Amino acid sequence: MDRKIFRLAIPNIISNITVPLIGLANIGIAGHLDSAKYIGAMSLGVTIFNMIYWNFSFLRMSTSGFTSQALGARNLTEATSVLLRSVIVSVSLGVLIILLQYPIGQFAFRFILSGEEIKGYVEAYFRICVWGAPAVLTMYAFNGWFLGMQNAKTPMFIAIFNNILNIGLNFTFVFGLGMDIEGIALGTLLSQIITLAVTVTVWSLKYGRLKKYLRYADLWNKVALRSFFKVNADVFVRTFLLTIVTGFFTFASSSMGDTLLAVNALLMEFFMLFSYFMDGFAYAGEALTGKFVGAGDRKNLKAMIRRLFFWGFLVNLVAVIAYSFFPGELISLLTDKAEVIRVAKSYTFWTVLIPITGFAAFLWDGVFIGATLSKEMRNTMIFASMMFFACYFIAVPLLGNNGLWLSFILYLGMRAFVQTVIARKRLKLI
């Protein structure tokens, strides 16, 4: 079982680690420009797109869950149909975002409480990157499908290609051509479009033979479509609340001044680094859970979950040690601003609590997605989000930025606790 987990987890860990490296590199590029305001602007710009794209991450999750279950049941016709359904929906939603970019942008900019200069940087970043929406959402569908087919290596190589290309283009535009935040945005956009073209080519070469299994009558099967959109609706609500919490965290930071905005942006990279690393195991659990559920193999499902949490705990332990003993070194990699580094060190205690309180939530997410337990994921997030905002409005007036971090840590802990309770009861029915 460990071999099956690591065969999927290691490629996903490698590809996932390269994702925050883009954020770290972009923050690092912004942190070495002539003003600390670029750090805050980058954080706000990325947060806006996170709030947009994360809401559509159901495209990856549902595609992975349905594909892995179809594979477990050895139904290649349905597995192929799942990809085409997801691609059609992804492209349609991406085009819709482009058409609605002005009202979306104006709505998001209203929540930025920093000065006009930072708002201007954020708007410039948004107006360029928004054109990559169809490519980004379509990549969600392909990545979910690859994972559902128990193939983690192809997404890994594609992710590495995308991230190296992104970082290379950003360095070229900013330091080679003298551009600032617009150069970062342009590099990001071009890498998204090029990577999608490469992905489609790779799929055609590796899986083109599956076209013979596609039945257009099955593509629009009412039962399959109803299940597809029901799960997507539940996961959308879950992900929408997740983006509300993380987005609110950043926008709330913008009301505390430019320095604390930059500090919280840097420290949240600790969370992103841990989450993408832990998601490598969650994705493995996602693919294997779907396969075992589709095959009706309850024995291996339970064995896999036990081993998944064993390895997840070890990853959690490594993160706790790194964040406890090397916070200053990690922060210094992201910025050379002495004041930002000094203030950030006083809040690193909270980053140590991130892996402790949250690692189980990441792993349960993978299991729930693979089993398409979308309703349970939705309800868990509703409860945890309510706890976050209740704590925020009580703690922040009393504790300031510490209260904001306390609210976030409570939110992570509640997700893990509720999911554990649900899993102990619900998974017995599988």
Sign of CA dihedral 146, 148, 151, 156: positive
Q: Find out whether 317 and 54 touch, Cβ atoms under 8 Å.
A: no
- Specify the pLDDT at position 16: 67
Query: Which long-range contacts (C-beta less than 8 Å, at least 24 apart) are formed by 274-277?
Result: 274/319, 274/354, 274/355, 274/358, 275/358, 275/362, 276/16, 276/17, 276/19, 276/20, 277/13, 277/16, 277/17, 277/315, 277/319
DSSP state of 157: H
Q: Find out whether 334 and 28 touch, Cβ atoms under 8 Å.
A: yes
pTM (2 d.p.): 0.74
User: 404-427 as b/e, with b when 16 or more CB fall inside 10 Å?
Assistant: bbbbbbbbbbbbbbbbeebbeeeb
Kindly provide the residue ranges of all beta strands, DSSP E only, lying in 147-286, ordered along the sequence.
Answer: none
334 alpha carbon, distance to own chain's centre:
20
Q: Find out whether 30 and 124 touch, Cβ atoms under 8 Å.
A: no
Q: Find out whether 375 and 233 touch, Cβ atoms under 8 Å.
A: no
**One-letter identity of residue 185:** A
- Specify the pLDDT at position 31: 62
Concatenating the DSSP letter of every residue in 24-54 gives HHHHHHHHTSS-THHHHHHHHHHHHHHHHHG
Concatenating the DSSP letter of every residue in 76-115 gives HHHHHHHHHHHHHHHHHHHHHHHHTHHHHHHHHHTT--S-
The pair of structure tokens assigned to 8 is 């999927």
d(CA 66, CA 81): 10
d(CA 83, CA 96): 20
Residues of the chain predicted below pLDDT 50: 429-430
- Specify the pLDDT at position 430: 45
d(CA 416, CA 409): 11
DSSP state of 429: G
Q: Find out whether 44 and 51 touch, Cβ atoms under 8 Å.
A: no
CB contact set of 43 (below 8 Å; sequence gap of 6+): 27, 250, 261, 262, 264, 265, 268
The pair of structure tokens assigned to 218 is 């099955």
Q: Which ranges of 296-347 does DSSP label H, i.e. alpha helix?
A: 298-325, 327-334, 338-345
183 alpha carbon, distance to own chain's centre:
23
The pair of structure tokens assigned to 368 is 């729930």
pLDDT 10s digits, 411-421: 999 998 888 88
